[in-house]
Amino acid sequence: MIITKTPYRISFFGGGSDYPSWYEKNGGAVLSTTIDKFLYISCRFSPKYFKKKYRIVWRKIENVQRVNQINHKAVRELLKYLKIKTGLEIHYYGDLPARSGMGSSSCFTVGLMQSLYRIKKINLNKLDLAKKSIYFEQNVMKEAVGSQDQTSASYGGFNKITFSKNNTIKVKKILSKENLKELNKNLVLIYTGINRTAHKIASSYVKKLTTTKKNYIKNILEHVHESEKILMSGNIDDFGKLLNSSWTLKKKLSVSISNRQIDDLYNQAIYHGALGGKLLGAGGGGFLLMYMKKKYRENFFKRYPKIINIPFKFSNVGTEVIFEDLNR
């Protein structure tokens, strides 16, 4: 049996510039962090006395004889892609709901790919794991996804990730511990309860990024560089204000990115003292991140008692194997 533990991520700035249709021509960059919420995947060889060769446990329980019969698309296609024909039992558990803007799809890909390569007795370094996961999602699964989530899940930590025209990926750790601690303290993670499929939302605007929305990408890339300077200078409130500017820009990309319910919640948070925020991921639902100091939160949560607030801390760990015994 192999068990992997893969962190979810929060993307602050630069999302959109991590799509290959953009960075292969212009270069891109994002600022993001992993957090102490994780996705766990257990994978073991199926006992020979099981009637079915493959058992996949997610929101469904699948017991099938052939890979092509597996309904879970990522599992099915990854087993085919890696040419794994041995019977397997795969279980998935997550600290956060899927389709919520926290990079869960790529977390799953990275965690499962890590597991399956270890079953093949192959160890991948962080960069190779990130690149293989990116290739799989974009070229095998044909999903409209960027390249930051797989990289964040592989490396872990609070990073500026740069994507070059020649497909080089560079991960730069942000090392200002006290400023990151202050930032973490001022962030609130709110679950909207709205589930959506990221690649469907992204499809509504990805093609525009290299045509009619070029200026948007140029602006958000400036936000990446500006936010890095803020974290080094210590003027952390400016980070919250920059989140507001970035969210205002992003909403102009597509009507699918936000909705009335999300806008009302965001505006109420601003009214109660938040300096800025954003809907995480591609948009459309999931988690809303707000920069709101502790002294303003009590009145806000009294006004909205049904809001689900998820406490979290920044995490420095990327995906890792936490248990390995191929004889079990």
Residues 6+ apart with CB under 8 A from 90: 41, 42, 43, 54, 55, 56, 57, 75, 112, 115
pLDDT in tens, 146-166: 999 999 999 999 999 999 999
Q: How many CB atoms lie within 10 A of CB 327?
A: 6
- Domains, in order of start, for the chain: 2-174+315-324 (3.30.230.10), 177-312 (3.30.70.890)
Please report the pLDDT score of residue 200 as a whole number: 56
Measured CA to CA, the distance from residue 152 to residue 158 in angstroms comes to 9
Cα(321)–Cα(115) distance, integer angstroms = 8
Q: Are 102 and 8 in contact (CB under 8 A)?
A: yes
- Three-class SS of residue 111? helix
pLDDT value of residue 305: 87
81-125, pLDDT tens digit by residue?
Answer: 999 999 999 999 999 988 788 999 999 999 999 999 999 999 999
Model confidence pLDDT, tens digit, residues 217-250: 889 999 999 999 999 998 999 999 999 999 998 8
Residues 6 or more apart whose CB falls under 8 angstroms from that of 237 comprise 275, 291
- Enter the pTM of the model: 0.93
CA distance 43 to 61: 14
